[in-house]
Amino acid sequence: MLLSKARSFSASLSNSKQITLTFIPAPSVQDGAFCFFSNVNNMKAALSIIRYKNAAIPFGWFSMALFRLPLYFNRRISFFKLMGTGLNGTFDIKPDIKTWAILVVYKNGQEAQKADNLYLGKFIQSWFSLFAKEQFSILLEPIAGHGLWDGRNVFGELAHQSDHKGMTATLTRATIRPSKLLSFWKNVAPVAKNMKSADGYLFSVGIGEVPWLKQATFSVWRSMDQMKAFAYKQMEHAEVIKKTRKENWYKEDMFVRFSISDTYGTTKGINPLNINP
């Protein structure tokens, strides 16, 4: 509500004196971890995809428990998730046991300027150096979205729409009601296959906290318009969106759009976004 008032107040003055005021809610602490709300232009997040060597697959599993402590005490990070990945790069009932993901949100976006220096800590980076075959990191700036993650507004107060036109990443995540699991997995498989052949599609990865129940897809598109064309004009996808609402599949969900600030490393031998290869 404060941000909506700030926008209207800024508009009323901009025609005369070009004055802009922004109201920023104060930081808060929820469930023992920081939840920091700030101007969306200053907030940064990062997603790292780590593919382990064949001989080091057990260390990938182990890292999901081991990394919680250093990330929890990392003063630069306000929120994090350690997640597994789907085998085919999107929602997938079969996990990719070689590949794992870390999502972090920074308290101060100014601290995260390059994707090759994500402040995950020396211990975690040393772990990757020893056991990982590849690491691909994407530095993100949230620009629009809605919904909650574990009851929290982890990316701050976002507008529902953005005038951003360029390369766009999207994160769609949900906690699926156990009674709706069959309907969910039956309907999302065809949509996932269609996404990879859609106009403007560049990259995607399926990520999840809890197998089959807490799932997300992160995808990158050449432009905002191409992403919207798939989301709202592709028939199968539009039908699934209607079903999620009508049949109440989700206990909690979130949809966020991002601009991409930087990338680092490779996944499956390439940088699929061709930014700083």
Task: Answer for the pair 53, 132: CB distance below 8 angstroms, yes or no.
Answer: yes
pLDDT for position 16: 39
3-state secondary structure of 145: strand
Residue 5: which domain range? Answer: 1-30
Residue 274 covered by a domain: no
pLDDT for position 111: 65
Q: Are residues 229 and 219 in the same domain?
A: yes
Q: Are residues 23 and 69 in the same domain?
A: no
Q: Are residues 125 and 14 in the same domain?
A: no
Q: Are residues 149 and 115 in the same domain?
A: yes
pLDDT for position 79: 94
Q: Are residues 149 and 252 in the same domain?
A: yes
Q: Are residues 74 and 12 in the same domain?
A: no
Residue 85 covered by a domain: yes
Tokens representing 146 are 């809605």
Q: Are residues 168 and 80 in the same domain?
A: yes
- CA gap 152, 148 in Å, rounded: 5
The b-or-e profile of 180-200 (16+ CB within 10 A means b, else e) is beebbeebbeebbeebeebeb
Residue 276 covered by a domain: no
pLDDT for position 110: 63
Q: Are residues 131 and 9 in the same domain?
A: no
pLDDT truncated to tens, each residue of the chain (277 aa)?
434 334 443 444 334 344 333 333 333 333 333 333 333 447 899 999 999 999 999 999 999 999 999 999 998 899 999 999 988 777 777 889 999 999 999 987 666 767 676 778 889 999 999 999 999 999 999 999 999 999 999 998 888 888 888 999 999 999 999 998 888 887 877 777 788 888 999 999 999 998 888 989 999 999 999 998 888 777 777 777 788 888 888 899 999 999 999 999 999 899 999 764 4
pLDDT for position 109: 67
- CA gap 208, 83 in Å, rounded: 5
- CA gap 273, 277 in Å, rounded: 8
Q: Are residues 154 and 229 in the same domain?
A: yes
pTM: 0.80
pLDDT for position 25: 39
Residue 275 covered by a domain: no
Q: Are residues 6 and 117 in the same domain?
A: no
Q: Are residues 45 and 179 in the same domain?
A: yes
Residues in contact with 75: Cβ distance below 8 Å, sequence separation at least 6, in sequence order: 107
Name the domain count of the chain: 2
Residue 277 covered by a domain: no
CATH of the domain at 261: 3.30.70.100
Q: Are residues 227 and 107 in the same domain?
A: yes
Residue 191 covered by a domain: yes
Tokens representing 161 are 């729409």
